Amino acid sequence: MKALLLKDFLAMKSQLKMIITILLLFIVVSFFLEDSFYLVLSIFIFGTIQVTASFTYDEMSHWDLYANTLPLEKSEIVKSKYILSLLLSIGTLLLFSPILLLINYWTNGIPLIDFLPIICLMATGSLIIMSFLLPIYIKFGPQKGRLFLFLIVILPIIGFNASLSFILDKLPPVETLQKLSYVSPIFGAILFILSYMLSVKFYETKEF
């Protein structure tokens, strides 16, 4: 497991300068626009892109062919991708939380009590996207996976826009929504675990 994560992070290291530059850019943009939402969004996109990039590096080098000659359980290979995606999305979000809060404080943004539900919802969103994305990437590889990524991102947006007025009418009170947002990561986590189990099944039937 450690070796697999190390491999992904070492491969990512070559892009470290670019990643830091982009994140700094978003910190500056968030600060000047007095809206930390851009930073949250960039972290969110950054995490997803890096996970998909790790699959692309693997595919380009035929890493899975080699990894399966090593004394590594197939479930371990799958688990490493799930842990990588957690570290890159929620881990980075937590890592940047102090900066987010600082920007929010300096720019007199939304109150802290409203900020936490947003982070919770972002974490849940990230878990849900990864839960769909990872089995698809594991089953079909990054080439076809990219098409699915597009659908995973675009379909909820279309669906949300189409049903916006309906949703707004039916929404429960704000307090209930806030409470729901706090527990939402639990549902995200359950979906994430189920997705992992499905991915292991996919990976076990794969031939290289």
Partner 1 sequence: MTNAIEVLNLNKKLHQFQLRDVSFTLPSGTIMGFVGENGAGKTTTIKCLINLLKKERGSIKLFGLNQESNDIAIKEQIGVVFDNIHFPEMLTPKQINQLMGAVYKTWDHHYFLKLLDQLKVPIHKPIKQLSSGMKMKLSISTALAHYPKLLILDEPTSGLDPIVREEILDLFLEFMQDEEHSILFSSHITSDLEKIADYITFIHEGEILFSENKDDLLYQFGIWKGSLEQSKDLPDHSKIRMKKSPFGVEILVKRNEVNNAFYLEKPTIEDIMLFYVKGDDIK
**Would you tell me which residues interact with partner 1 (CB under 8 A)?**
2-3, 6-7, 10-11, 13-14, 57-58, 60-63, 65-66, 68-73, 207-208
Cβ closest to partner 1, residue 166 vs residue 208: 208
The CB density around residue 87, as the number of other CB atoms within 10 Å, is: 18
Cβ closest to partner 1, residue 56 vs residue 178: 56
Residue 198: CA count within 13 A, CB half-sphere: 16
Shortest distance in whole angstroms from residue 46 CB to partner 1: 19
What is the rounded CA–CA span in Å between residue 23 and residue 207?
A: 38
Nearest to 96 by CA among 172, 39, 143: 39
Shortest distance in whole angstroms from residue 88 CB to partner 1: 16
Token pair of 132 as six digits: 């769909």
Cβ closest to partner 1, residue 14 vs residue 165: 14
The CB density around residue 58, as the number of other CB atoms within 10 Å, is: 23
Shortest distance in whole angstroms from residue 23 CB to partner 1: 20
Degrees, nearest 5: CA angle 54-149-44: 70
Cβ closest to partner 1, residue 35 vs residue 64: 64
Shortest distance in whole angstroms from residue 136 CB to partner 1: 21
Measured CA to CA in angstroms, residue 198 lies from 74, 135, 145, 182, 191 at distances of: 13, 7, 16, 26, 11
Cβ closest to partner 1, residue 35 vs residue 59: 59
Shortest distance in whole angstroms from residue 75 CB to partner 1: 11
